[in-house]
Chains A and B, each alone.
Chain A
């Protein structure tokens, strides 16, 4: 079949128009959900670069993407604010996919992407049901291991401005980096009223110095919700058989009241190698 270049120009123009029309829904901001109660739900979740966490032999790895599974977990938890870690999908190794945008659109939430892809950090995004007024990220000190970051947002909620941080510390074997990163976070948050979310890769049962730095500076959400810090509640890793806590919600001291027994985990191994951790906080309008 022969076409004139004019026909192909029309086809190209057609594709362009489709692209333009397809872009329009993106401009529609998600609606802010009016709160009918005085409780907000805060969650932290390491989403393992959108891959299912199949820790099996090389021949059995599936490499299956888990966008739908993650969406189900988050929908079930129904957080008002969620901090994601390992959300950097715009890498060729992750299939060049903007999962943060996809999740935010599906959940009807505002979002801050966190460190840019060029920073080559695994990602710390923050999603919120309410508009994000301010946003920034900083690189954490990384004397060993890879680059790590922390995202900071100010959220315009019906209860006033909420300051939220989200971070992802260095892995277990780099203790020096963890310690410096914990000190940095404590200093960065300062005396402000804030919520600090993240995968801190640091454990109380190993007597990690970074854990003690954080525990000394902030109130552990688990404790604020009425549990003993060593309670088995809040085990988030590995998702197949959660035996330890590395994902935490920290609250600045004296600023927050948690709903009793509201510290919970959500998720399953089909969604991530971590479970998400959630807390409910009582708010005054």
Chain B
């Protein structure tokens, strides 16, 4: 039975969770700044502030920054605290700045080849489900209990930060390959209630009779099972055949969740397993990640996120965005999955 370090595992889980929390906060606060039927304003432009590829590139050239790596960890927690205050402008900007630093921290912490990173990536959504269950399907900024839980996370983060150290051999591959996964957690797979409310009333057998919270519980358990199955595999299957199986599994399960709704709570489990499995099982290719590739992956992820958000408010945004998003919310979510498969498939292709 292999041994793994606990602290690095929790640090990966914590950073993944922080990415979800901050991105969620950022988008909702930018939405608030534009929440009017009169159209959008300049704050929509804040969206580009979440692209951390350029900051990561600058950090790579900055020895001073590298020498103060641990300070960046604590700065992120401080900025997340500021992002929680009730002022949408300050909150959005703080969340964006924190996301920039989270990008740097991920680059210096994630090692896709290590079991610690794999376990951390799997534990993060479990922690997110737990947050939702504790808070009755609201989130950290919604209620007093949410803020108490957020404060507890800060304490946990501070403890983890005390022993944080940079990796010796930093590779961009890890953040490139996990960025779409984290975006999928943010949009779909990290939120059991989302899967249910997205699919309910779309023809599933018994959906009209079973209570919503039964579905939430089933979805949560299905997703958790998917994660545990992925974590319990012995991942030494360096074969394109397996990547194709996981890709097809995730595609079919997402098609069911997003477009059909036959058994969405079961599909959520298959999707979570397949998405994680495609990361876990793929071989690594050191030296094959570039800043430009990271930028492209982040830009595409952001584009799909923006179009997905706009889809629900298409009549109140400039026409080009309205046309690109109207009725296509599910398609944009699906495109994030395609990006995930594309990015990890690229690394498979390099191997074969």
- A→B interface (CB under 8 Å): 1-9, 11-13, 15-16, 18-20, 22-23, 26-27, 29, 49-51, 58-65, 67-68, 88, 90-102, 105-106, 110-111, 113, 115-118, 120, 122, 134-137, 145-146, 171
Task: Return the 8 tightest CB-CB contacts between A and B, nearest first.
Answer: A63-B32, A93-B31, A26-B213, A23-B217, A63-B88, A98-B137, A22-B133, A98-B193
Q: Is the CB of B139 within 8 A of A96?
A: yes
Beyond known contacts A5-B2, A18-B133, A65-B141: 13 more, CB 8 A cutoff: A2-B5, A2-B6, A5-B4, A22-B133, A23-B221, A27-B214, A51-B32, A58-B43, A61-B33, A93-B31, A96-B193, A118-B330, A120-B311
Q: Is the CB of B315 within 8 A of A145?
A: yes
Q: Is the CB of A118 within 8 A of B198?
A: yes
Q: Is the CB of A116 within 8 A of B202?
A: yes
Residues from chain B with a CB closer than 8 A to the CB of A99 are: 138, 142
Residues from chain A with a CB closer than 8 A to the CB of B202 are: 116, 118
CB distance from A284 to the nearest CB of B (A): 29
User: For the complex, what is the distance from the CA of A18 to the CA of B1, rounded to whole Å?
Assistant: 25
Q: Is the CB of B314 within 8 A of A146?
A: yes
- Taking CB atoms and an 8 Å cut-off, the chain B residues in 183-222 that contact chain A are 186-187, 191, 193-194, 197-202, 208, 211-214, 216-217, 220-221
Q: By CB atoms of chain A within 10 A, which of B139, B202, B225 has the most? A: B139
CB distance from A215 to the nearest CB of B (A): 25
B262 sits at the interface (CB 8 A): no
- B→A interface (CB under 8 Å): 1-7, 9, 24-25, 27-29, 31-33, 35, 37, 41, 43, 86-89, 91, 115, 119, 122-123, 126-127, 129-130, 133-139, 141-144, 186-187, 191, 193-194, 197-202, 208, 211-214, 216-217, 220-221, 224-225, 227-228, 231-232, 258, 305, 308-309, 311-316, 327, 329-330
User: For the complex, what is the distance from the CA of A159 to the CA of B137, rounded to whole Å?
Assistant: 33
User: For the complex, what is the distance from the CA of A116 to the CA of B257, rounded to whole Å?
Assistant: 12
Q: Is the CB of B212 within 8 A of A101?
A: yes
Closest to A112 in B: B212
Q: Is the CB of A15 within 8 A of B28?
A: no
Residues from chain B with a CB closer than 8 A to the CB of A11 are: 123
Closest to A171 in B: B37
Q: Is the CB of A91 within 8 A of B312?
A: yes
Residues from chain B with a CB closer than 8 A to the CB of A100 are: 212
Q: Is the CB of A19 within 8 A of B232?
A: no
Q: Is the CB of A92 within 8 A of B27?
A: yes
Q: Is the CB of A50 within 8 A of B88?
A: no
Q: Is the CB of A12 within 8 A of B231?
A: yes
User: For the complex, what is the distance from the CA of A93 to the CA of B227, rounded to whole Å?
Assistant: 26
Q: Is the CB of A92 within 8 A of B309?
A: yes
Q: Is the CB of A68 within 8 A of B144?
A: yes
With A4-B2, A19-B129, A27-B213 known to touch, is A96 a contact of B7 (CB < 8 Å)? no
Closest to A170 in B: B315
User: For the complex, what is the distance from the CA of A270 to the CA of B325, rounded to whole Å?
Assistant: 32
With A1-B7, A135-B208 known to touch, is A65 a contact of B142 (CB < 8 Å)? yes
User: For the complex, what is the distance from the CA of A68 to the CA of B147, rounded to whole Å?
Assistant: 13
Q: Is the CB of A62 within 8 A of B224?
A: no
Residues from chain A with a CB closer than 8 A to the CB of B315 are: 145-146
User: 13 A–B contact pairs at CB < 8 A?
Assistant: A5-B2, A5-B4, A9-B232, A22-B134, A61-B89, A63-B87, A90-B198, A93-B28, A94-B31, A95-B28, A120-B312, A122-B312, A146-B315
Residues from chain A with a CB closer than 8 A to the CB of B4 are: 2-5, 8
Q: Is the CB of B213 within 8 A of A93?
A: no
User: For the complex, what is the distance from the CA of A97 to the CA of B191, rounded to whole Å?
Assistant: 9
Q: Is the CB of A63 within 8 A of B129?
A: no
Q: Is the CB of A62 within 8 A of B137?
A: no
User: For the complex, what is the distance from the CA of A178 to the CA of B9, rounded to whole Å?
Assistant: 55
Could you say which of B2, B32, B308, B330 contacts A92, with CB atoms under 8 Å apart?
Answer: B308
User: For the complex, what is the distance from the CA of A262 to the CA of B49, rounded to whole Å?
Assistant: 52
Residues from chain A with a CB closer than 8 A to the CB of B232 are: 9
Closest to A99 in B: B138
Residues from chain B with a CB closer than 8 A to the CB of A106 are: 136
Residues from chain B with a CB closer than 8 A to the CB of A145 are: 315
With A116-B199, A120-B329 known to touch, is A92 a contact of B186 (CB < 8 Å)? yes
Could you say which of A5, A7, A118 contacts B258, with CB atoms under 8 Å apart?
Answer: A118
Could you say which of A63, A111, A116, A136 contacts B86, with CB atoms under 8 Å apart?
Answer: A63
Closest to B143 in A: A67
Q: Is the CB of B138 within 8 A of A116?
A: no
Closest to B311 in A: A120
Q: Is the CB of A20 within 8 A of B138?
A: no
User: For the complex, what is the distance from the CA of A261 to the CA of B29, rounded to whole Å?
Assistant: 41
Residues from chain A with a CB closer than 8 A to the CB of B144 are: 68
CB distance from B217 to the nearest CB of A (A): 4
User: For the complex, what is the distance from the CA of A60 to the CA of B86, rounded to whole Å?
Assistant: 9
Closest to A17 in B: B224
With A101-B137, A120-B312 known to touch, is A19 a contact of B32 (CB < 8 Å)? no
Closest to A50 in B: B142
Residues from chain A with a CB closer than 8 A to the CB of B88 are: 58, 61-63
Residues from chain A with a CB closer than 8 A to the CB of B27 are: 92-93
Closest to A18 in B: B130
User: For the complex, what is the distance from the CA of A12 to the CA of B305, rounded to whole Å?
Assistant: 30
Residues from chain A with a CB closer than 8 A to the CB of B309 are: 91-93
Residues from chain B with a CB closer than 8 A to the CB of A94 are: 28, 31
With A96-B191, A116-B202 known to touch, is A59 a contact of B305 (CB < 8 Å)? no
Q: Is the CB of A97 within 8 A of B137?
A: yes
Residues from chain A with a CB closer than 8 A to the CB of B9 are: 3, 8
Residues from chain A with a CB closer than 8 A to the CB of B141 are: 65, 95
Could you say which of A1, A62, A137 contacts B5, with CB atoms under 8 Å apart?
Answer: A1
Residues from chain A with a CB closer than 8 A to the CB of B133 are: 18-19, 22-23
Residues from chain B with a CB closer than 8 A to the CB of A90 are: 191, 193-194, 197-198
